[in-house]
Amino acid sequence: MVEPYPGPLNSTAILMGRNTLTPHVIVVDGQLVGGWKRTLAKTAVVVEVRLLVDLRAPEHTAIIAAARAFGAFLGLPVELRGGPP
């Protein structure tokens, strides 16, 4: 089971360094565990992940699979950045 983030989650400054709400959150077992953003490059989509807690290997695998599926949807290869806190 994923341990919940111990602090308040009242802004995305915690997730992505901004002060607005973001729809790009990562949820595991009903717990908010991080966020992500994408940047379109000329030949790829860059997916930056910021995690608030440590995840298990299967959860990391699921994030990688989701990023690849997003890239396939866009028709672009994915460059995945970020990870554990």
CA nearest to 85, candidates 21, 24, 7: 7
CB 26 within 8 A of CB 34: yes
Phi and psi for 49 in degrees, rounded to 5? Answer: -110, 135
Strand partners, 31: 28
Look up residue 12 and give its DSSP letter. Answer: T
Q: Is the pLDDT assigned to residue 10 strictly greater than 60?
A: no
Segment 17-61, tens digit of pLDDT: 554 446 788 888 888 888 899 999 999 999 999 888 899 999 999
pLDDT of residue 52: 86
CA nearest to 18, candidates 31, 37, 3: 37
Q: Which residue has the tokens 């915690």?
A: 14
